Amino acid sequence: MSMRSIRPPRIPSQLAEDDGAARGDNFSHSLLCGDFSWQSREDTLVEQSRIVQAQFTGARLSRSRLTDVVVENSDFSGAELDEAAIERVEFRECRMSGAIFSRCSFRDVRFVGCRLNEANFRMSEITHVLFEDVELRGSDFYAATMESTGFFDCDLTNAEFTKATIPDVRFHGSTLLDLKGAEYLTGAIIESSQVLPVALAVLAALRIRIDDEREPPEAVRDKRR
């Protein structure tokens, strides 16, 4: 996957500052800031805008559409964005622990320096996406479909990939300990230093045990009688 294949957000140079209090759920050419925590804003449209140091903790943002947006230093911890459509968006240094992105569509998206531990990407379609230096411990990609996607220098310890479809997904520099559903990494690309942790995860998934004894202890004891 080439980073050049990810189309960047197209944002105008002049943006109007907006705290979301003056109007409804559509934002265009805006500089969004403020506290939206625990609010319900389903079917929200945000386009050609920046979101900077905003709080969306626990917010309900289902079926939102984000197009041509940069999100910086914002908090989406526990936010619900299920069935969202996210295209040409960059998330930079955001806190997104426990965020719900199930059944979302991601296209041309970058997550850089974010915390996404225990985030939910179940059954999402992920195309031309880069996770770079991202905390993804315990994240859930169950039945997700990925294409032209990379996890570079991420922590994927205990992440879930059961029934995921990930042809040519790259995991270079990432921690891949205790993966769940490792047997579904068909077509993935790893580097040589990642062979052992992935192999151990696959063996565990297939219930293959490593034992240097040729016979079980019970058989050895029976022979000695």
* Token reading at 128: 């031309």
* Token reading at 196: 């052992």
Question: Mean pLDDT across the chain, nearest whole number?
Answer: 90
Instruction: Tell me the torsion sign for CA atoms 89, 113, 25, 139.
Output: positive
pLDDT tens per residue, range 6-59: 999 999 988 988 776 555 678 999 999 989 999 998 899 999 999 999 999 999
Per DSSP, the three-state class of 25 is coil
Q: What does the alpha-carbon distance between residue 122 and residue 132 come to, in Å, rounded to a whole number?
A: 20
Residue 190 reports pLDDT greater than 90: no
Q: Which of 24, 27, 56, 62 minimizes the C-alpha distance to 43? A: 62
Q: What does the alpha-carbon distance between residue 189 and residue 172 come to, in Å, rounded to a whole number?
A: 8
What's the mean pLDDT in 56-75? Answer: 97
- Given this structure, which CATH class describes domain 3-209? mainly beta
Helix (H) / strand (E) containing 224: helix 217-224
pLDDT tens per residue, range 71-121: 999 999 999 999 999 999 999 999 999 999 999 999 999 999 999 999 999
Contact call for residues 57 and 79 (beta carbons, < 8 A) = yes
Q: What is the dihedral of CA 19, 107, 92, 161, to 10 degrees?
A: 120
Phi, psi torsion values for 70, nearest 5 degrees: -115, 130
How many CB atoms lie under 10 A from the CB of residue 73?
13
The reported pLDDT for the residue numbered 196 is 85
